[in-house]
Amino acid sequence: MFFYVLVWLIFGLLSIGPITFIFSFMRKSSQWPWSTKVDTNYKPKVSIIVPTYNEADIILSKLTNLNRIKYPRNLMEAIIVDSNSNDGTQEIIRQFLKGKPRINMKMLVETARKGKSHALNYALGHCVGDVIIVSDADCFLPQNILEEAIPFLGDPTVGAISGPKILLNANQTWVTRLEESYLRSANVVRFGESKMGSTVFFEGGFSAFKKEAFYRFDPYDTGSDDCGTVISVVERDFRAMLVPQARFFSAFPPSYQGKIMIKLRRANQLVRVFGKYLNLLSKGKIKTSLKTVVPNIFVYLFSPLFFVAFTILTLGLVATFPFLLLTSLFLMIPCLRFYFYEIVESNILLTASILAILFGKKFSMWNPPQNRIYFTKERLVYFDLI
């Protein structure tokens, strides 16, 4: 029994210990001052790409939001790339363009839908900006986001930036409240990594890349245009950073089913992302970001497998000593209950994703959310986004 308990402890430490250590350390490093030059005089040409597919219910609000962004008109363009929508999205865009928006704006149309990364790379060939920004149709930007965030790219070592996602419907249901708490914790880790040197993936919604730091979106075909592109930024020894000035607003499905579908797709992408990092690491192609890449590889690729073993061993231990069920009383503490729930859910989804990839399953097709009722005009006006 001693050997059993010892093995149980080892697997517990290997499954839960790394993420606990990373969060604790990054929470401290997130309080450090920025080790980067913020150049307020840095004013590059900027191209904002917005990929669309059947966005008729939201695209007008998105275009209105883009038209309010403060940045020199001669240094900014917005390119809407539509992947053959069939719901009237293109006609809404054309009508908006006829009104001669304040910023330079144009639409490109793909003849067939081939996925988000393909659409972005198609648009990339028409961009004139030195900085390429991706903003999804269901993500809304504050007016001053470019004025406040672009200066971080003035540092020659920084190749890409993103920002924290703010939920428009954070208090709608228990699911959205849980997601809002998760985002706060995740942002602490990403801020800590950014201040240490470089974070290794983005949440998406607003991502800005220097043209010199990458050559195409998701060059490793990870199924994630933001995270996959960050890999090439890190590989080229540029820093990828999450900065608070680049915050953007979006929403989250209010149902648990909607949440799981998004989380499973995201987990599948991240497993593939860190599989690429592991491959590059084995070839010696990751150099300056080792201190953030290596811990994340362990957390996303190896900890979930140790967690499965830990869970099986735990069930065996409880079956032998039923009184151990009393330890579950710690879940009555809200904070501990949240972290327990997130760790369990994340490891289950990551394990499912690892198995799916081993059996050749991919979740790479880009599908817009089915429920957009939380993007109301009143809510967007309240947050000063339109």
What confidence score (pLDDT) does residue 327 get? 65
What confidence score (pLDDT) does residue 322 get? 77
**Is the model's pLDDT at 325 over the cut of 80?**
no
The mean pLDDT value for 321-326 works out to 69
**Is the model's pLDDT at 204 over the cut of 90?**
no
pLDDT tier for residue 365 given thresholds of 50, 70 and 90:
very low
Question: Rounded CA gap, 89 and 92, in Å?
Answer: 5
pLDDT tier for residue 369 given thresholds of 50, 70 and 90:
low
Question: Rounded CA gap, 182 and 25, in Å?
Answer: 17
pLDDT in tens, 115-126: 899 999 999 999
Question: Rounded CA gap, 236 and 286, in Å?
Answer: 8
Question: Rounded CA gap, 280 and 233, in Å?
Answer: 13
**Is the model's pLDDT at 330 over the cut of 70?**
no
Question: Rounded CA gap, 367 and 253, in Å?
Answer: 14
pLDDT tier for residue 35 given thresholds of 50, 70 and 90:
confident
Question: Residue 79: exposed, middle, or buried by beta-carbon count in 10 A (0-12, 13-18, 19+)?
Answer: buried
Which of 263, 273, 266 is CA-nearest to residue 342? 263
What confidence score (pLDDT) does residue 332 get? 66
Question: Rounded CA gap, 62 and 98, in Å?
Answer: 16
pLDDT tier for residue 367 given thresholds of 50, 70 and 90:
low
First-to-last alpha carbon distance for the chain, in angstroms, is 64
Q: Cα angle at 87 between 124 and 382, to 5 degrees?
A: 80
Output the average pLDDT for the chain. Answer: 90
**Is the model's pLDDT at 364 over the cut of 80?**
no
What confidence score (pLDDT) does residue 315 get? 85
What confidence score (pLDDT) does residue 165 get? 95
Q: Could you tell me what percent of the chain has a pLDDT over 70?
A: 94
Chain position carrying tokens 């190749």: 159
Token pair of 192 as six digits: 């800590």
Question: Rounded CA gap, 230 and 202, in Å?
Answer: 7
Q: Could you tell me what percent of the chain has a pLDDT over 90?
A: 70
Q: What interhelical angle do 256-282 and 225-235 show, nearest 10?
A: 20
**Is the model's pLDDT at 328 over the cut of 80?**
no
pLDDT tier for residue 137 given thresholds of 50, 70 and 90:
very high
**Is the model's pLDDT at 366 over the cut of 90?**
no
**Is the model's pLDDT at 207 over the cut of 90?**
yes
The mean pLDDT value for 318-331 works out to 69
Question: Residue 378: exposed, middle, or buried by beta-carbon count in 10 A (0-12, 13-18, 19+)?
Answer: exposed
Phi, psi angles (nearest 5°) of residue 48: -100, 120
What confidence score (pLDDT) does residue 28 get? 93
Please state the length of the chain: 386
pLDDT in tens, 77-93: 999 999 999 999 999 99
Strand 158-162 versus strand 239-242 pairing type:
parallel
- For the chain, counts of helices (H) and of strands (E): 12, 9
| DSSP for 19-80, written as a single string | HHHHHHHHHHHTTSPP-S---TT----EEEEEEESS-TTTHHHHHHHHTT--S-GGGEEEEE
What's the pTM value of the predicted model, to 2 decimals?
0.90
Question: Rounded CA gap, 227 and 270, in Å?
Answer: 8
pLDDT tier for residue 203 given thresholds of 50, 70 and 90:
confident
Given this structure, which CATH class describes domain 40-253? alpha beta
**Is the model's pLDDT at 362 over the cut of 50?**
yes
pLDDT tier for residue 281 given thresholds of 50, 70 and 90:
very high
Rg (CA), the chain: 22
Per DSSP, the three-state class of 87 is coil
Chain position carrying tokens 């070592």: 157
pLDDT tier for residue 334 given thresholds of 50, 70 and 90:
confident
The mean pLDDT value for 116-138 works out to 95
Burial 246-257 (b: 16+ CB within 10 A, else e): bbbbbbbbbeee
Question: Residue 109: exposed, middle, or buried by beta-carbon count in 10 A (0-12, 13-18, 19+)?
Answer: middle
The residue ranges of every structural domain in the chain are 40-253
Please tell me which residue, 106 or 330, carries the higher pLDDT value. Answer: 106
pLDDT in tens, 155-178: 999 999 999 999 999 999 999 999
What confidence score (pLDDT) does residue 53 get? 93
Question: Rounded CA gap, 208 and 332, in Å?
Answer: 42
Q: What interhelical angle do 334-358 and 2-29 show, nearest 10?
A: 100
Residue 224's Cα: distance from chain center in Å? 9
Question: Rounded CA gap, 76 and 69, in Å?
Answer: 10
